[in-house]
């Protein structure tokens, strides 16, 4: 199904630009991509593992589709998963979850489910062939595969591979194109904003993979007149919600409205549920009740108001303090308002007092003059006493992982390994 869909796409505009690799300074039309795939070698293994961010990734996917192989994209440093059991006949694609809160798992998809996600994204966001995608994010990640690879192969949206996300590379990659679409993560948008290299020919700017800070969204809009469109999705079901408005949001919790053909609701436990034809077949090899029958129940707490989806934190991130629950986002929102705090993260760790449950830790990247004591006093004026962090860990920066996410689980692990051994602890 996927390979036949690709051939139809290529036949509809064979002489149009399809793929441009700036690192090699080489481009392919749709007809040339077909020729390269037909004449290329067929892989013998039952599963293809495309990797990297070059044109080889795209060629590997096309060869796998042509040969009827299952595709399992991997990051360059990611080990191949051990797939010992035979996959169901209808499964054509495997994704690895981002593992933000735990061990990564494989998610299986049929061809129809992959195609439905691409259709929802292209239709909702208005991706256009005359606005090529500038590719800087991972092609292996669900975000990059659905926003860059599938629109190219199934909808004829050209893809320009920048080869790097560094500011100078972005500046060079955008030159010579009347209009482009740029999908990235907040950390990259922040870097480009600070470097002053956000291209003036961007017609559609998308941010996903991590929460988009309001200040960043508003600053880019004020300086460049460019609206960053917040996009929320999951490896298990593809796109869920998208902010299609033309002006910056006023509430950072707003994820936008549901994508076309996606139904979003709130389960009894307060978590977001997504339904639709793009929802994955299931986890492999061990199924789970939160992903089956065309329904994915996420671990994200949320609410729906006036048709908009609002994210209220992760159910698993709730901190239990003597039987009372607090979402770390509530603490982070207060600390982020401190004039000398650049970034912060709150989480719970086991308390020495078993009756207390957990102790709240605040991991803060701030200016040199900030101290744990000053942060504590600042928080006490704005939070109930039981929500004020008891441990303060000051770090130089809150670095993200290779997918542009700040993982609460990773920082909690680091804290426990160091026993709170940051620059300053109160």
The Cα diameter of the chain in Å comes to 70
Beta bridge partners of 321: 324, 357
Count of beta carbons in the 10 Å neighbourhood of residue 40: 13
DSSP 148-195: IIHHHHHH---EEE-S--SHHHHHHHHTT-S-EEEEE-HHHHHHHHHH
Q: pLDDT truncated to tens, each residue of the chain (426 aa)? A: 899 999 999 999 999 999 999 888 899 999 999 998 887 666 667 899 999 888 999 999 999 999 999 999 998 888 888 887 889 999 999 998 754 444 568 999 999 999 999 999 999 999 999 999 999 999 999 999 999 999 999 999 999 999 888 998 898 888 888 999 999 999 899 999 999 999 999 999 999 988 898 999 999 999 999 999 999 999 999 999 999 999 999 999 999 999 999 999 999 989 999 999 999 999 999 899 999 999 999 989 999 999 999 998 878 788 888 777 788 888 998 999 999 998 899 999 888 765 567 899 999 998 888 899 999 999 999 999 889 999 999 999 887 765 556 778 888 888 988 864 444 444
Provide the 8-state DSSP code for 132: -
Q: How far is CA 96 from CA 62, 71, 108, 145, 333, in A?
A: 20, 11, 9, 12, 31
Distance CA 242, CA 253 (A): 12
pLDDT value for 144: 95
Is-contact 274 295, C-beta < 8 A? yes
- Beta strand 159-161 with 180-184: parallel, antiparallel or unpaired? unpaired
Question: What SS3 state is found at 83?
Answer: coil
pTM: 0.81
Q: Which helix (H) or strand (E) holds 94?
A: strand 91-96
The pLDDT value given to residue 105:
81
- Residue 184, burial from CB neighbour count under 10 angstroms (0-12, 13-18, 19+): buried
Residues in the chain: 426
Instruction: Please give the pLDDT value at position 327.
Output: 84
For residue 173, what are the CA distances in angstroms to 137, 143, 146, 199, 263? Answer: 14, 20, 21, 9, 37
CA dist 156 and 144 (Å) reads: 16
Predicted local confidence at residue 101, as pLDDT:
43
DSSP helix/strand/coil, 86: coil
- Assess contact for 149 and 129: CB atoms under 8 A: no
Report DSSP letters for 14-75, one per residue.
TTSEEEEETTTTEEEEHHHHHHHHHHSPPP-SSEE--BSSSHHHHHHHHHHHHHT-EE--B-
What is the rounded end-to-end Cα distance, in angstroms, of the chain?
Answer: 60
């Amino acid at each position: 199904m996927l390979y036949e869909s690709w051939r139809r796409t290529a036949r509809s505009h064979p002489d149009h630009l399809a793929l441009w690799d700036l690192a090699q300074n080489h481009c392919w039309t749709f007809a040339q991509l077909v020729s390269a795939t037909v004449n290329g070698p067929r892989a013998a293994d039952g599963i293809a593992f495309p990797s990297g961010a070059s044109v080889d990734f795209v060629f590997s996917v096309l060869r796998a589709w042509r040969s009827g192989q299952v595709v399992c994209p991997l990051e360059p440093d990611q080990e191949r998963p051990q797939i010992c059991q035979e996959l169901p006949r209808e499964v054509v694609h495997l994704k690895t979850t981002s593992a933000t809160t735990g061990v990564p798992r494989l998610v299986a998809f049929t061809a129809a489910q992959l195609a439905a996600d691409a259709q929802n994204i292209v239709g909702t966001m208005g991706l256009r062939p005359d606005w090529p995608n500038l590719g800087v994010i991972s092609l292996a990640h669900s975000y990059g595969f659905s926003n860059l690879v599938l629109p190219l192969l199934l909808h004829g949206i050209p893809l320009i591979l920048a080869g790097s996300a560094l500011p100078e590379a972005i500046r060079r990659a955008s030159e010579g194109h009347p209009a482009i679409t740029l999908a990235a993560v907040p950390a990259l948008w922040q870097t480009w904003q600070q470097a002053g290299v956000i291209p003036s020919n961007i017609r559609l700017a998308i941010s996903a993979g991590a929460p988009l800070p309001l200040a960043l969204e508003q600053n880019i809009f004020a300086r460049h007149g460019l609206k960053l469109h917040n996009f929320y999705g999951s490896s298990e079901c593809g796109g869920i919600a998208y902010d299609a408005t033309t002006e910056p949001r006023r509430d950072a919790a707003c994820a936008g409205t549901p994508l076309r053909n996606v139904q979003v609701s709130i389960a009894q436990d307060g978590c977001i549920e997504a339904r639709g034809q793009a929802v994955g077949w299931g986890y492999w090899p061990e199924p789970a009740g939160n992903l089956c029958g065309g329904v994915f129940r996420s671990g994200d707490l949320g609410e729906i108001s006036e048709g908009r989806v609002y994210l209220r934190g992760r159910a698993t991130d709730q901190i239990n303090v003597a039987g009372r629950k607090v979402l770390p986002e509530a603490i982070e929102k207060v600390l982020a308002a401190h004039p000398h705090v650049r970034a912060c993260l709150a989480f719970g760790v086991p308390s020495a007092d078993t009756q207390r449950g957990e102790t709240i830790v605040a991991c803060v990247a701030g200016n040199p003059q900030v101290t744990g004591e000053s942060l504590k006093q600042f928080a006490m004026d704005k939070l109930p006493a039981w929500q004020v962090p008891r441990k303060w860990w000051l770090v130089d920066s809150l670095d993200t992982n290779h997918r542009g996410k700040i993982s609460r689980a990773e920082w909690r692990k680091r804290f426990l390994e160091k026993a709170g051994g940051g620059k300053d602890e109160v």
